[in-house]
A and B are shown apart, each in its own frame.
Chain A
Amino acid sequence: MKKLFAVALGILTAIGGFVDIGDLVTNATVGSRFGMSLAWVVVVGVVGIVVFAEMSGRVVAVSGRPTFDIIRERLGPRVGLANLIGSMAVTLLTFIAEIGGVALALELATSVWEYFWIPFTAAAVWLVLWRAKFQLVENVFGLMGLALVVFAVALWQLGPDWSQMWHTASTAAKPGQEAWPSYWYYAVALFGAAMTPYEVFFFSSGGVEERWTEREIPTVRANVFIGFPLGGLLSLSIAGVAAVTLFPASIQVETLSQVGLPVAIALGKLGLAIAILGFFAATFGAAAETGLSVGYSIAQYFGWQWGKFVRPRDAARFHAVVLLSTILAAVVLLTTVDPILVTEFSVVFSALALPLTYLPILIVANDPAYMGSHQNRWLANTLGSVYLVVVLVASIAAIPLMIWTKLGTT
């Protein structure tokens, strides 16, 4: 019974914790501009994150070594350092976007200017990272994030022509008024949003925080195989409601309130309030995860003590990194940069950085010295290799497409 409860809790938090500011903004933008014609990318992205999260979860359960520990060991100090710098830049950018997202959610709830909220948000995020236990962060924000199920309810309430929707989605029919480069730019952005590297850093480090062993592998798999695809359905619902309400009106999503607008149309005040709560939980939870991920990765590269299973004074450099990143994020946001713009950059740069994370995981998951009998089997290897190609293509295409389409505006 207790075991069942733990599995259920894990799955629920995996669903609620799946969506972050990048998923919210990118899915709504894509739904409003391309209808459901890019839904296939979400599916491809979700399968990808499932494949690699399972792999990194298995690696950490068997060897006790999280992702960046392995990256350093496999790639050596030089390439490992280059990888660290690239991955950290992207995770930090995502961290900034998430804190901005929390401030935007608070603005929607109060109409008080977003920049007013930033110092408070940053302070609250830091306090959670300093004082709250790992499981608490994961469970509280994961469960609160389930509020985003309201998007699925809204879609059902709007009662779209499902067969029409399925047709657009299954034929990937690009709307006539949009250009192909923008279509592919958003395909890469959606892929980057679904497969954000921090998810793997956080997931594998979380395995050490929660002391996974080989016995936890089935639980980990349940979380990943059930939780992530259901989380992906939330992403699709966000795109879906935008496709039904905003796309026909030629409204292009540029703000978080426009992400929530379809829910207000479908379900009214209560629905919108739940959606805003969902925005808050999803972005706050992801802010905590990305903030930790910055600390995890740097500490794992240099071999410093890290984690929330020890007292902060016993992981001094780790906590110093977390504190400095939080201050940096607040300072960057207080220059009044638009958090939505930061988010767009963060998902594109995520796509660019994907191979840095996923290649080493695939290599180690095949290493018998590490994995023993839990080495990758043919299915994981086939999928992993196919995805490595997809990830490389997305990574190479990301920046040229961004420049060519001027961030998708043409």
Chain B
Amino acid sequence: MTAQETALGKIDANLELMDRQVLDNDGRMIGKVDDVELEERDDGRIYVSALLSGPGALGPRIGGGLGSIATGTWARLSGRSEPARVDWSEVASVETAIKLAVGRTTAAIDGFEVWMRDRVIAAIPGSKVLPR
């Protein structure tokens, strides 16, 4: 899918992108499309330039006190002020889930997962073996 085809009108970002599951190039679930980044190009049309994911993008959409707490906590813990983004050039396909052309490390939208894995789950015996 090229950028041209994503001009609004061709793809309904609200219906076909928002809140969909994001998979990395291994098919692993790494997040949701919590928001999209839009960009107006020279031709006057609006394009989706990136997918935004994580509490930084989800918080404002939930809104209210809960939303700002989520965004604030996330910003504090991650030390970032802008939501995690995946550039549109890294999107491989849009189906019932969004598949990326890159791995989870490159996409880097699931910092909390990495933290939980390294600090908590990896410490429990058997975490590296497939359930039998």
> Do the two chains touch directly in the complex (Cβ atoms below 8 Å apart)?
yes
Of the candidate stretches A25-33, A89-97, A312-320, A334-342, the one touching chain B is A312-320
A311 engages B128 (CB within 8 Å): yes
**With A63-B96, A317-B116, A370-B96: A312-B63 Cβ-Cβ less than 8 Å:** no
Contact of A77 among B61, B124, B129 (CB under 8 A): B61
Identify which of residues 273-319 in chain A touch chain B, using a CB-to-CB cut-off of 8 Å.
299, 302-306, 308-314, 316-317, 319
A302, B32: Cα distance in complex, Å:
6
Identify which of residues 124-175 in chain A touch chain B, using a CB-to-CB cut-off of 8 Å.
130-134, 136
B58 engages A77 (CB within 8 Å): yes
A179, B11: Cα distance in complex, Å:
58
A303 engages B21 (CB within 8 Å): yes
A133, B28: Cα distance in complex, Å:
19
A320, B96: Cα distance in complex, Å:
27
Contact of A305 among B58, B113, B129 (CB under 8 A): B113
Interface string of A49-76 (1 = CB under 8 A from B): 0000000000000011100010011001
B32 engages A72 (CB within 8 Å): yes
| B90 CB-CB contact with A under 8 Å | no
B117 engages A316 (CB within 8 Å): yes
CB of B67, distance to nearest CB on chain A (Å): 9
A382, B121: Cα distance in complex, Å:
46
A77, B25: Cα distance in complex, Å:
25
Q: Chain A residues near B22: list those with CB within 8 A.
A: 303
A64, B95: Cα distance in complex, Å:
11
CB of A326, distance to nearest CB on chain B (Å): 13
Q: Chain A residues near B53: list those with CB within 8 A.
A: 303
Contact of B131 among A69, A133, A305 (CB under 8 A): A133
Closest to A136 in B: B132
B21 engages A69 (CB within 8 Å): yes
| B31 CB-CB contact with A under 8 Å | yes
**With A303-B21, A312-B126, A312-B127: A64-B96 Cβ-Cβ less than 8 Å:** yes
Contact of A312 among B21, B28, B114, B124 (CB under 8 A): B124
B113 engages A313 (CB within 8 Å): no
B19 engages A76 (CB within 8 Å): yes
Q: Chain B residues near A311: list those with CB within 8 A.
A: 127-131
B20 engages A73 (CB within 8 Å): yes
A313, B121: Cα distance in complex, Å:
6
| A78 CB-CB contact with B under 8 Å | yes
B113 engages A317 (CB within 8 Å): yes
Closest to A305 in B: B29
A123, B22: Cα distance in complex, Å:
33
| B122 CB-CB contact with A under 8 Å | yes
Identify which of residues 218-238 in chain A touch chain B, using a CB-to-CB cut-off of 8 Å.
none
**With A303-B21, A320-B116: A313-B30 Cβ-Cβ less than 8 Å:** no
Q: Chain A residues near B29: list those with CB within 8 A.
A: 299, 303-306
Q: Chain A residues near B116: list those with CB within 8 A.
A: 316-317, 320
A132 engages B126 (CB within 8 Å): no
A73, B121: Cα distance in complex, Å:
29
| A44 CB-CB contact with B under 8 Å | no
A312, B130: Cα distance in complex, Å:
7
Interface string of B93-132 (1 = CB under 8 A from A): 0001100000000000010111011001110101111111
B120 engages A320 (CB within 8 Å): yes
Contact of A316 among B34, B63, B120, B131 (CB under 8 A): B120
A277, B126: Cα distance in complex, Å:
29
Q: Chain A residues near B113: list those with CB within 8 A.
A: 304-305, 316-317
Where the two chains meet, the residues of B that have a C-beta atom closer than 8 Å to any C-beta of A are: 18-22, 28-32, 34, 53, 58, 61-63, 66, 96-97, 110, 112-114, 116-117, 120-122, 124, 126-132
Where the two chains meet, the residues of A that have a C-beta atom closer than 8 Å to any C-beta of B are: 63-65, 69, 72-73, 76-78, 80-81, 130-134, 136, 299, 302-306, 308-314, 316-317, 319-320, 370
Closest CB pairs A-B (n = 9): A303-B32, A316-B117, A316-B116, A316-B121, A313-B127, A303-B31, A305-B29, A312-B127, A73-B19
Selected A-B contacts with CB under 8 Å, 5 pairs: A64-B97, A80-B19, A132-B132, A303-B32, A303-B53
Q: Taking A76-B18, A310-B130, A314-B117 as given, write out 10 further A-B residue pairs in contact, using a Cβ cutoff of 8 Å, ordered by the A residue number.
A: A76-B19, A78-B62, A80-B19, A302-B32, A305-B30, A312-B121, A312-B127, A312-B131, A317-B112, A320-B116
